[in-house]
A and B are shown apart, each in its own frame.
Chain A
Amino acid sequence: MATKNLPMREALRQALREEMQRDERVFIMGEEVGKWHGTHRVTQGLYEEFGARRVRDTPISEMAIAGAAVGAAMAGLRPVAELMTINFAFLSLDAMINHAAKIHYMFNGQFTVPLVYRAATGWGNQATATHSHMPEPIFAHFPGMYVGVPSNAYDAKGMLKAAIRDENPVLFTETIALYPKPSPVPDEEYVLPIGKADIKRQGGDVTIVTYARGVEWSLQAADMLAKEGVEVEIVDMRWLRPLDMEPVFESFKKTNRCVVVEESLPMFSFGSEIAAQLQEAAFDYMDAPIKRVSAMDVPLPYAAEIELMALPNAQKIVDAVRGVL
C-alpha cells in the first residue's frame, strides 16, 4: 500500500477533512479554529474549504464550547470541539463530565452525545505550571466518555476518524511535541478501532506499558537496552478508555516484569491503574515490583533546566527497567 510520511498535524487534518466530506453533520468549533487556522495549525485550510458554517470560530468561552457541543450532538450533529489546549479543559470540566459523559446514562439512553473534544496536551515547552498539564487520567476516571491518546501520525489519523464516527463522547488529546513528527500514513482510507492497544516493539524481558509521547521515549530506551542484550516489549495503550488490558496481561505473562511510563503525574495515575490491574489479574506471574516512570510530583517550573528534570526521559526508563531485572 502506498504511504506518505506525514507529520501528525497533517494526518489529523486529513482525518478531519475526510470525515467532514463523508458526513455533513460533522463540523468543527472552537477558539481560532477557522480564520486563524488553529493554534497548532491542525485545522489549517479547512475554513477556506468548508466555510464558516462548518468551521466555526467561537469566543473564548470554554464552558460554552464544551456545553454547546453536547447540545448539538444530542440534537443530531457531530461536533468536533477544539479546546485549544487541555489546560483550558479545566474550565469546561462540568460540561464534559456532568453532561457529555453522563447524559446518555442519566436519561436512560434517550439521548446520545456523539462528539469529539480535541485538545493539545503535554509539556516540556517552558509553558509554565498552568499550561503544562497532561491530565488525561482525570477524564478517564469517569465512565461515559472515551479518551484517546495517540503516539504517532498514523495512529492519530485512524483513531480520530473512529472517534468522530462513534456514538459516544470522546476526549482526544494530541501531544504538542508530536505534531511535527512524521510517520508513514497510507494514501488509502483506514480507521483504527476505539479501545485497541498496539504492540510497538516486541521483546521477552520486560513489558513497558505507555501511551502518547511515552512511546517515543520508551522506543529510545529500548534501543539503549538492546545494546545490553535486554529486549523490552512496548505496549502503546492508545486509549485510556476503553482500557485494553488483554495485550498487557499477555505480555506480562511472558516477561513477568513491567515498567509503566507516563508523561502525567504519579498520584492516582495511569501507572497506578495499570499496576493495580496487573497485580489483581496476574499476581502469580510477577517476578519484580512494578515500577513507574512519571513526571515528578511538582508543578512545572519555567526554567528549562529544572523543567526537564521533572519529566520522564529515555534514561529514566532505562534505569527503571534495570531496576526490575
Chain B
Amino acid sequence: MATQTATLPKEQLLDWYHQIVLIRKFENMCDALYAEKRITGVYMHLYSGHEATGVGALAAITPEDHVITAYRDHGIALARGVDPKAVMAEMMGKRTGTSGGKGGSMHLASREHNFWGGYAIVGGHLPLATGIALKVKYMGEPNVVISFVGDGATNNGYFHEAVNLAAVWDLPVVWIIENNLVGMGTRVEEASGQPDLVKRAIAYGMKEGPRVDGQDVVAVYEAVKEAVEYARATGPVLMESLTYRYQGHGVSDRQYSAREDLKSELEIWQQRDPIIVLRSRLTKRFKNIEPELERIEEEADRIVAEAVEFAEQSPAPGYEDLIANVYVE
C-alpha cells in the first residue's frame, strides 16, 4: 500500500509522535516502578514496541466507535485518550484508577471512551467484540468495533467461534492481530499450522485485510482506515500488524527477552522502532522540527511524572469498595 505521509497534516503526525512517546515513557515508568515494588501484582504486560499498532489503529476510528483488547492494554487505553493518571492509579491499585483499583493492569476500561476493556483470559474478549458489534448492527448504528487479538489467541476456540459468528452475521468488526511473533514463549510457527495468520480470513469467508508493518504508525493508520471503511459498509475484516514486544511476555518473564539467541532479533526490531520510524518521517518532511519533537518528549515526561504523583497520593480502596458492584442493586 502506498503511504500517504505527504498528505497527512503535520498536527496529526505530531499527535501520533506524542502518543507513541507517551506510551513508551509510561511503560518504562511502569517497569521501573514495578522493580521498586511501587507497582505490585503478579501480572503486567508492557506495550513497548507495539505503540504504532495501537496509535495508528485508533487514529482511524471515531470516539463513537468501539475498542476492546486483551491484557496488554496500557497502550490501548492511552491511545484511546484515557487519562494517564487514572491508568497509573489502576496500576497501583488505587481508588482513583480506571477500575477503582479492582481490575489492575490487565483490566483497564473506560466506558466514556467506548473502551470496553482489557481482558486477561486469552481470547475471552473476542466474543464480547462480536456481541458489541451485534448491538451496533441491531440498532442500525454507523459504528465499528476494533478488536485487537494477539497471535497466541488465534489458536484457541474463542477466536474461531467469535470470528466465525461475526462473519455469519456480517458484523462491523475489524480484527487486528497484533503479531509479535511469540505467544508467551512459543513462536508463531511452532503454534500455528498456518503462520501467515491473516490467511485465516479465507476460512471464514471474511475479508482478508493486509499484513501491515506494525512499526510504522502511518502504514497501520492507512491499513486500518481502509479496513474500517469496509467494516462499516460491508462486514468484518481480519488484518494483521507485525510487531515485536520489547520486554518479554510480562513482568513475570524476564528470561525470554534476556535470551542471548534473541538479542539480535530484538536489535533488528529496535532499529525499526516506532519512534525512530516516525521521527525519520517527520525530520525528512519538516525542516528543523527537532526542537518541537524534544518539547513533545519533555511534555510526555511531565505527564508521566504527574500520573505517578497522582497515583501515589490517591487513596487505596476500602471495605466499601471490596463489597461494591458485585451485583447491580
Known interface pairs A63-B158, A106-B102, A110-B110; A70-B328 also in contact (CB < 8 Å): no
A105, B326: Cα distance in complex, Å: 5
Complex interface: stretch among B34-42, B54-62, B131-139, B236-244:
B131-139
Q: Is B12 located at the chain interface by the 8 A CB criterion?
A: no
Does A143 belong to the interface (CB within 8 Å)? yes
CB-defined contacts of B103 to chain A, threshold 8 Å: 106-108
Partner of A67, one of B102, B130, B327: B130
Q: Which B residues touch A110, using CB under 8 A?
A: 99, 109-111
A178 within 8 A of B: no
How many residues of chain B have a CB within 8 Å of chain A? 44
A-B contact pairs, 8 of them (CB 8 A): A61-B164, A68-B128, A68-B165, A71-B135, A99-B128, A103-B117, A111-B111, A168-B327
B117 CB contacts on chain A under 8 angstroms = 103, 107, 111
Given contacts A63-B127, A106-B103, A107-B109, A71 and B327 within 8 Å (CB-CB): no
Q: Does chain A have a CB within 8 A of B157?
A: yes
B131 with A74: CB separation less than 8 A: yes
Q: Among B111, B132, B321, B324, point to the contact of A71 (Cβ < 8 A).
A: B132
Question: Is B121 at the interface (CB under 8 A from chain A)?
Answer: yes
In this complex, what residue of B is CB-closest to A29? B134
Q: Cβ of B128: which chain A residues have Cβ within 8 Å of it? A: 67-68, 70-71, 74, 99
Minimal Cβ-Cβ distance residue in A for B119: A99
Asked if A18 lies at the interface with its beta carbon under 8 angstroms from chain B, I say: no
Bound form: Cα–Cα A290–B328 in Å:
34
Query: 9 closest Cβ contacts across the A-B interface?
Result: A71-B131, A67-B127, A108-B100, A64-B161, A71-B128, A75-B135, A68-B131, A167-B328, A72-B131
Q: Does A69 contact B (CB under 8 A)?
A: yes
Q: How far is the CB of B116 from chain A (nearest CB, A)?
A: 7
B129 touches A (CB below 8 Å): yes
Interface string of A159-198 (1 = CB under 8 A from B): 0000000111000000000000000000000000000000
Given contacts A67-B158, A71-B68, A112-B328, 19 further A-B contacts (CB under 8 A): A59-B164, A61-B164, A64-B127, A64-B158, A64-B162, A64-B165, A67-B126, A68-B131, A70-B128, A71-B127, A72-B131, A75-B132, A75-B135, A107-B103, A107-B109, A108-B101, A108-B321, A111-B111, A167-B328
In the complex, B32 has a CB within 8 A of chain A: no
Question: Is B7 an interface position by the 8 A CB rule?
Answer: no
Q: Which of B155-181 contact A (CB under 8 A)?
A: 157-158, 161-162, 164-165, 168-169
Which residues of the partner chain B approach A167 to less than 8 Å between Cβ atoms? 328
B280 within 8 A of A: no
B207 within 8 Å of A (CB atoms): no
Q: Which residues of A contact B328 (CB under 8 A)?
A: 104, 109, 112, 114, 166-168
Q: Does A11 sit within 8 A of B, measured CB to CB?
A: no
Residues in chain A near residue B249, CB distance under 8 A: none
Please name all residues of chain B whose beta carbon is closer than 8 Å to the beta carbon of A72 when the two chains form the complex: 131-132, 134-135, 138
A94 CB-CB contact with B under 8 Å = yes
Are B138 and A68 in contact, CB atoms less than 8 angstroms apart? no
Closest residue to B129 on the A side, CB-wise? A71
| CB <8 Å contact, B136 and A75 | yes
Which residues of A, 114-170, contact B by the 8 Å Cβ criterion?
114, 143-144, 146, 166-168
Q: Does B124 make an interface contact (CB < 8 A)? A: yes
Of B101, B133, B157, B321, the residue contacting A63 (CB under 8 A) is: B157
A76 beta carbon closer than 8 Å to chain B: yes
In the complex, what distance in Å separates the CA atom of A103 from the CA atom of B131? 14
Chain A positions near chain B (C-beta within 8 angstroms): 27, 53, 56, 58-59, 61-77, 79, 94-95, 98-99, 103-112, 114, 143-144, 146, 166-168
Q: Min CB distance, A168 to chain B, in Å?
A: 5
Asked if B107 lies at the interface with its beta carbon under 8 angstroms from chain A, I say yes
Closest B-chain residue to A58, C-beta based?
Answer: B165
Inter-chain contact B109/A111, CB cutoff 8 Å? yes
The residue in A62, A77, A112 that gathers the most chain B C-beta atoms within 10 A of its C-beta is A77
CB–CB A108/B99 < 8 A: yes
**Is the pair B121, A107 in contact by a Cβ cutoff of 8 Å?**
no
Residue of A at shortest CB range from B102?
A108
| Inter-chain contact B127/A76, CB cutoff 8 Å | no
Do residues A66 and B107 form an inter-chain contact, with CB atoms below 8 A? no
- Chain A nearest Cβ from B151, distance in angstroms: 19
With A61-B165, A68-B165 as known contacts, state yes or no: A144 contacts B327, CB within 8 Å: yes
Which A residues are in CB contact (< 8 Å) with B326? 104-105, 143-144
**Is B4 at the interface (CB under 8 A from chain A)?**
no
Instruction: Tell me the bound Cα distance from A170 to B89 in angstroms.
Output: 32
Q: In whole angstroms, how far apart are the Cα atoms of A81 and B127 in the complex? A: 13
Q: In the complex the two chains form, is A94's CB within 8 Å of B107's CB?
A: no
| Chain B residues whose CB sits within 8 angstroms of the CB of A143 once the complex forms | 326-327
**CA distance in complex: A61, B131 (Å):** 13
Q: What are the residues of chain A within 8 A of B119 when measuring CB–CB?
A: 99
Counting CB contacts under 8 A, is B325 at the interface?
yes
User: Across the interface, do A95 and B127 meet the contact criterion of CB distance under 8 Å?
Assistant: yes
Contact A106 B131 (CB under 8 A): no
- Residues from chain A with a CB closer than 8 A to the CB of B138 are 27, 53, 72, 77
- How far is B186's CA from A30's CA once the two chains are assembled, in angstroms? 35
Q: How far is the CA of A259 from the CA of B16 in the complex (A)?
A: 68
Chain A minimum-CB-distance residue to B322:
A105
Pairwise interchain contact B121-A98, C-beta atoms closer than 8 A: yes
Chain A proximity mask over B245-278: 1 for CB below 8 Å, otherwise 0: 0000000000000000000000000000000000
Cβ contacts under 8 Å, B327 to chain A:
104, 143-144, 146, 168
Distance of A269 Cα from B107 Cα, bound (Å): 32
Note all chain A residues with C-beta closer than 8 A to B131: 67-75, 79
Residues of A within 8 A of B102 (CB): 105-108
